[in-house]
Amino acid sequence: MNDQVDEGPGEQTASFRAIRPDDPPPDSTPEPVINSAAVTAAKAKVLPAQEGSAGRKSESAWAHLSVSSTPAEEPDPEPGAPSASESDAEPGAAESDKTPAESEFGESDEPRSYFTPPSRTKAPRDSASDSPPRDAFTPIARANSPKREPDSSIETASTKEDNSVSSPATHPPKAGSGPKSDGLTDRPDDLSDSADDATLDDIADQVADSADPEPFAADSPEPEKPESRSVGHFAASGSTDDTRWNIPRDAAGSPQASGTFTEPVREFTEPVHEEKLPTTVSAALTSALNQLREAVTGLHFGLDVPGADEARKAQAAVLTQLDDYVIPRVHMSTAPALIVVAGSTGAGKSTLVNTLAAQQVSATGVRRPTTGTPVLACHPDDRDWFVKGDLLAGLTRLDKPGEGAGVDSIVIAPTERLPQGVALLDTPDIDSVVEEHHQIAHRMLDAADLWVFVTTAARYADAPSWGLLRLAKERNARLVIILSRVPVKSRDVIVKHFVRMLDEYGLGEVERFVVNETAVTNGRLPDDQVTELRMWLAELSVDDQRRTQAIQMTLNGVLNSFRNRVPALARHLETQVALRADLRSDVDSAYMSALAEIDEATRNGSLLRGEVLARWQDFAGSGDLMRTLQLRRASKSGQHGPERLRALKGALHTGLESVITSAAQRAAEEVVTRWRQRAGAGDKLAAIPGLGRPTEEAVRRTARMVTSWQDHVTELIRTEGVTKRSVAKLVSFDVQSLSLIFTVGLLGYGTTDVSVGSGNSALPQRLLRGLLGAESLRSISAKARSDLRARIGLLFDDETLRYVDALDSAGIPDEAAATRLYQATYNLEVAR
**Interacting residues with another protein between 731 and 790 (CB under 8 A):** 731, 762-763, 766-767, 770-771
Distance of closest approach, residue 659 Cβ to another protein, in angstroms: 4
Looking at residues 710 to 729 of the shown chain, list those that interact with another protein (rule: CB under 8 A). Answer: 727
Q: What string marks each residue from 286 to 315 as x (binds another protein by CB under 8 A) or -?
A: ------------------------------
**Nearer residue to another protein within complex by CB, 236 or 626:** 626
**Nearer residue to another protein within complex by CB, 603 or 615:** 615
Q: From residue 111, give the alpha-carbon distance in Å to each of 41, 44, 107, 123, 554.
A: 20, 21, 11, 17, 9
Position 351 contacts another protein (CB under 8 A): no
**Nearer residue to another protein within complex by CB, 148 or 693:** 693
Give the 3-state secondary structure of residue 91.
Answer: helix
Residues written for the chain:
832
Near another protein by CB under 8 A: residue from 687, 722, 774, 782: 687
Q: Are 418 and 377 in contact (CB under 8 A)?
A: yes
Position 613 contacts another protein (CB under 8 A): yes
Looking at residues 548 to 577 of the shown chain, list those that interact with another protein (rule: CB under 8 A). Answer: none
Q: Which amino acid is at 374?
A: P
Position 80 contacts another protein (CB under 8 A): no
Looking at residues 357 to 416 of the shown chain, list those that interact with another protein (rule: CB under 8 A). Answer: 365-369
- Count of C-beta atoms within a 10 Å radius of residue 241: 29
In 3D space, the residue among 448, 440, 431 whose CA is nearest the CA of residue 374 turns out to be 440
Near another protein by CB under 8 A: residue from 253, 623, 638, 811: 623
**Nearer residue to another protein within complex by CB, 390 or 462:** 462
Q: What string marks each residue from 483 to 512 as x (binds another protein by CB under 8 A) or -?
A: --x-x--x--xx--x---------------
805 phi, psi to nearest 5 deg: -60, -45
- How far is it, in rounded angstroms, from Cα 505 to Cα 466? 9
Distance of closest approach, residue 604 Cβ to another protein, in angstroms: 11
Position 701 contacts another protein (CB under 8 A): no
Position 601 contacts another protein (CB under 8 A): yes
Near another protein by CB under 8 A: residue from 665, 736, 752, 779: 665
Which residues make Cβ contacts (< 8 Å) with residue 139, sequence separation at least 6?
A: 98, 101, 127, 130, 131
**Nearer residue to another protein within complex by CB, 485 or 546:** 485
Looking at residues 645 to 664 of the shown chain, list those that interact with another protein (rule: CB under 8 A). Answer: 647, 651, 654-655, 658-659, 661-663
In 3D space, the residue among 85, 95, 99 whose CA is nearest the CA of residue 43 turns out to be 99
Query: How would you classify the pairing of strands 478-486 and 511-516?
Result: parallel
- How far is it, in rounded angstroms, from Cα 76 to Cα 549? 37
**Nearer residue to another protein within complex by CB, 35 or 354:** 354
Q: Which amino acid is at 190?
A: D
Position 631 contacts another protein (CB under 8 A): yes
Distance of closest approach, residue 731 Cβ to another protein, in angstroms: 5
- How far is it, in rounded angstroms, from Cα 684 to Cα 505? 40
Near another protein by CB under 8 A: residue from 578, 596, 626, 782: 626
**Nearer residue to another protein within complex by CB, 204 or 461:** 461
Looking at residues 96 to 155 of the shown chain, list those that interact with another protein (rule: CB under 8 A). Answer: none
- How far is it, in rounded angstroms, from Cα 28 to Cα 32? 8
**Nearer residue to another protein within complex by CB, 203 or 656:** 656
Looking at residues 328 to 347 of the shown chain, list those that interact with another protein (rule: CB under 8 A). Answer: 344-347
Near another protein by CB under 8 A: residue from 620, 735, 804, 812: 620
Query: How would you classify the pairing of strands 409-414 and 629-631?
Result: unpaired
Position 700 contacts another protein (CB under 8 A): no
**Nearer residue to another protein within complex by CB, 496 or 820:** 496
Distance of closest approach, residue 307 Cβ to another protein, in angstroms: 19
- How far is it, in rounded angstroms, from Cα 418 to Cα 39? 17
- Count of C-beta atoms within a 10 Å radius of residue 291: 18
**Nearer residue to another protein within complex by CB, 231 or 647:** 647
Give the 3-state secondary structure of residue 339.
Answer: strand
Looking at residues 19 to 78 of the shown chain, list those that interact with another protein (rule: CB under 8 A). Answer: none
**Nearer residue to another protein within complex by CB, 463 or 754:** 463
Judged by CB under 8 A, which stretch of 177-185, 548-556, 578-586, 603-611 contacts another protein? Answer: 603-611
Distance of closest approach, residue 741 Cβ to another protein, in angstroms: 12
In 3D space, the residue among 56, 39, 58 whose CA is nearest the CA of residue 48 turns out to be 56
Distance of closest approach, residue 477 Cβ to another protein, in angstroms: 20
Position 622 contacts another protein (CB under 8 A): yes
**Nearer residue to another protein within complex by CB, 345 or 354:** 345
Near another protein by CB under 8 A: residue from 4, 692, 752, 753: 692
Looking at residues 791 to 810 of the shown chain, list those that interact with another protein (rule: CB under 8 A). Answer: none
Alpha helices in 107-213 (DSSP H): 117-127, 133-151, 154-170, 172-180, 183-196, 198-208
Question: Taking the C-alpha atoms of 167, 173, 176 and 182 in order, what is their torsion angle to the nearest 10 degrees?
Answer: 180
- How far is it, in rounded angstroms, from Cα 154 to Cα 689? 71
At residue 174's C-alpha, the angle toward residues 168 and 176, to 5°, is 90
Distance of closest approach, residue 679 Cβ to another protein, in angstroms: 15
Position 680 contacts another protein (CB under 8 A): no
In 3D space, the residue among 608, 179, 87, 551 whose CA is nearest the CA of residue 340 turns out to be 551
In 3D space, the residue among 79, 192, 109 whose CA is nearest the CA of residue 554 turns out to be 109
Looking at residues 421 to 480 of the shown chain, list those that interact with another protein (rule: CB under 8 A). Answer: 431-435, 438, 456-464, 466
- Count of C-beta atoms within a 10 Å radius of residue 646: 13
Q: Are 185 and 95 in contact (CB under 8 A)?
A: no
**Nearer residue to another protein within complex by CB, 371 or 825:** 371
**Nearer residue to another protein within complex by CB, 52 or 346:** 346
In 3D space, the residue among 194, 207, 235 whose CA is nearest the CA of residue 73 turns out to be 194
**Nearer residue to another protein within complex by CB, 601 or 824:** 601
Position 272 contacts another protein (CB under 8 A): no
**Nearer residue to another protein within complex by CB, 416 or 503:** 503
- How far is it, in rounded angstroms, from Cα 53 to Cα 491? 11
- How far is it, in rounded angstroms, from Cα 482 to Cα 474? 19
DSSP bridge pairs for 412? 376
Q: Which amino acid is at 307?
A: G
Give the 3-state secondary structure of residue 831.
Answer: helix
- What is the radius of gyration, based on Cα positions, of the chain? 42
Q: How many residues bind another protein (CB under 8 A)?
A: 78
Position 689 contacts another protein (CB under 8 A): yes
